[in-house]
Amino acid sequence: AQTIHQWPVAEIKAVGSPLSLGCTIKGKSSPNLYWYWQATGGTLQQLFYSITVGQVESVVQLNLSASRPKDDQFILSTEKLLLSHSGFYLCAWRVSGNTLYFGEGSRLIVV
Amino acid sequence: GDSVTQAEGLVTVTEGLPVKLNCTYQTTYLTIAFFWYVQYLNEAPQVLLKSSTDNKRTEHQGFHATLHKSSSSFHLQKSSAQLSDSALYYCALSEDGSSGNKLIFGIGTLLSVKP
């Protein structure tokens, strides 16, 4: 069975500090991976997607970046956090038929 | 661009009574798939229903939805709401064929089931 794991579960970070969120998927080779963001009280917004190692496409510009260093790993990062980056970050992978399966999410509070 | 509209931000229903969550859409793509995702408090969204066939009823966990392309709708219904159904429900549209198979979500409807 496929599993998706995100880390950290939650973080409180200062404005201007760097951030790195990780996502690992096991049990699926060459998955399509996605980063979604959910602001408090907001809807889910796709940020990035990746169909293969080393290839990442940006969907929304939020002063964030993403990388796919390994087939089973997807990283979301920024060198300088903004207050507006607070929210719930979800990694997802796609199976056949366009269904997305989400990880447990990483909750970020920027102060 | 494509969009999903969930007109009600909050729906409150009494346990045991029927519930309907509305979802309409606008899309420029001919081949599309629709989803209902449910998100319980402090958890990630999980898929509840999926459909890509016009006028075909889809059921799961007591919920059902029928895609009606003629009215651009994919409403979610349940005949008898349970307390455990209280959650945030997202209607979503998959842009089939586009790069990355983007999933577009509505703003979500919070369902509150009261005793």
Question: Do residues B48 and B63 make contact, with C-beta atoms less than 8 angstroms apart?
Answer: yes
Q: Where residue B59 sits, what CATH number does that domain have?
A: 2.60.40.10
Residue A10 dihedral angles phi and psi, to the nearest 5°: -155, 150
Q: Which of B20, B18, B15 is nearest to B82 (CA)?
A: B15
What is the CATH code for A3-110? 2.60.40.10
Residue A96 dihedral angles phi and psi, to the nearest 5°: -65, 150
Average pLDDT on A57-66 reads 89
Question: Do residues B103 and A43 make contact, with C-beta atoms less than 8 angstroms apart?
Answer: no
Residue A83 dihedral angles phi and psi, to the nearest 5°: -55, -35
Residue B44, chain A, CB below 8 Å: the answer is yes
Domain count of the fold of chain B: 1
pLDDT at B98 over 80: no
Domain boundaries, chain A: 3-110
| Beta carbon pairs, A and B, within 8 Å | 55
Q: Percentage of chain B surpassing pLDDT 90?
A: 75
Average pLDDT on A34-52 reads 90
Mind telling me how many Å the CA of A44 is from chain B's nearest CA? 6
Provide the pLDDT confidence category of residue B96 given band limits of 50, 70 and 90.
low
Q: Inspect the interface and report whether the beta carbons of B100 and A97 lie closer than 8 Å.
A: no
Q: Percentage of chain A surpassing pLDDT 90?
A: 68
Provide the pLDDT confidence category of residue B97 given band limits of 50, 70 and 90.
low
Mind telling me how many Å the CA of B100 is from chain A's nearest CA? 6
Structure tokens at B105: 């979500």
Q: Which of B110, B94, B92, B111 is nearest to B23 (CA)?
A: B92
Q: Inspect the interface and report whether the beta carbons of B101 and A94 lie closer than 8 Å.
A: yes
* Predicted local distance difference test score (pLDDT) of residue B94: 85
pLDDT at B34 over 70: yes
Range of the domain at B23: 3-114
pLDDT at A28 over 90: no
Q: Which of B100, B107, B109, B93 is nearest to B1 (CA)?
A: B93
A62-67 long-range contacts, CB within 8 A, separation 24+: A62/A37, A66/A35
Average pLDDT on B49-54 reads 92
pLDDT per position as a tens digit, A33-42: 999 999 887 8
Q: How does DSSP classify residue B71?
A: T
Whether residue A69 is preceded by a cis peptide bond, meaning omega within 30 degrees of 0, is no
Query: Of A7-11, A64-68, B42-46, which gets the smallest average pLDDT?
Result: B42-46
Average pLDDT on A62-78 reads 95
pLDDT per position as a tens digit, B55-79: 999 999 999 999 999 999 999 999 9
Residue B36, chain A, CB below 8 Å: the answer is no
Provide the pLDDT confidence category of residue B28 given band limits of 50, 70 and 90.
confident
B-chain CB neighbours of A90 within 8 Å are: 44-45
Residue B83, chain A, CB below 8 Å: the answer is no
**Per-range mean pLDDT, top range of A2-11, A22-31, B6-15, B93-102:** B6-15
Mind telling me how many Å the CA of A104 is from chain B's nearest CA? 5
pLDDT per position as a tens digit, B36-45: 999 998 888 9
**Rg of chain B's alpha carbons, rounded to an integer?**
14
* Predicted local distance difference test score (pLDDT) of residue B84: 96
